[in-house]
Amino acid sequence: MQLEELLAELKSFGSPVIKNTFLKHGAKEPVWGVKVADMKGLIKKIKNDQQLALQLYDSGISDAMYLAGLVADGSKMSRSDLLKWADKANWQMLSEYTVPWVTSENKDAVPIALDWIESKNEAIAASGWCTLSGLASIKPDHEIDINLYRMLLVRVEKTIHQEQNRVRYCMNGFVIAVGGGISELNNLAMSVAKNIGTVQVNSGETACKVPNAPDYLQKIIDLGRVGRKRKTMKC
């Protein structure tokens, strides 16, 4: 399938209502407002076409960039490729989902994410925290550096309220992901969640709320899902 043909088909699924919702959440033009569910049918047509996935992201069209993340193989991308994607991610659906998805598949995911969380660029730092969260959710515990994640939880507890807006949101999500995904750190994550309390995030024109970490973790505990891993971050 050629890029132009794929973009035309993707655009045909666009909805003014969905586009307006995306714009309220921070999307930047060009964006067509394609539902994720409508993208799923296209995945079969372009599955395993890494070059086409890269072209989709390079198009700069938000919907195409999101679709690229669903089909690209992050293990085949270089560190510079991933940084390029992070640099181009101009709103949260890309910086907090698409970029972490592919980065989590890369063998250097942890050092890349650790580098990103030190960035002064809000979106890149958010990508770093979301990548680390994703790894806690998909990697078996024996493949995770537990001491590193323990130190990161302590860092969140000490610094979250001084961080930039979306970084605060992603750090809060990190506490939930670690507490839910890494059994050994569940108690510490719950303690951190309670100590950081309410996390204030400006969601712009939307009514989106920051998940209450202690309540969210308690639900995971009550459902007996602590330590349960996902196959992939992509959805």
**Chain-centre distance of CA 58, in angstroms?**
19
Count the helices and strands in the chain (H runs, E runs): 14, 0
| CA 79 centroid distance within chain | 17
User: What is the arithmetic mean of pLDDT over 28-47?
Assistant: 93
* Inter-residue contact 135 to 148 (CB < 8 Å): no
CA 132 – CA 130 distance, rounded (Å): 5
Q: How far apart are alpha carbons 227 and 137 in whole angstroms?
A: 8
Chain mean pLDDT for the chain: 96
- 64-120, pLDDT tens digit by residue? 999 999 999 999 999 999 999 999 999 999 999 999 999 999 999 999 999 999 999
Question: Could you give the 3-state DSSP secondary structure of residue 199?
Answer: coil
Is the pLDDT at 207 greater than 90, yes or no? no
* Per-residue pLDDT band at 47 (split at 50, 70, 90): confident
**Can you read off the two tokens belonging to residue 101?**
């998805």
Question: Domain boundaries in the chain?
Answer: 1-72, 92-235
- Least Cα distance to 230 among 186, 153, 184, 177 occurs for 177
How does pLDDT run across 23-32, given as a tens digit for each residue? 999 999 999 9
Q: Predicted confidence band at 58 (pLDDT cuts at 50, 70, 90)?
A: very high
pTM of the full structure:
0.97
Q: What is the pLDDT of residue 37?
A: 93
> How far is the C-alpha of 145 from the C-alpha of 181, rounded, in Å?
13
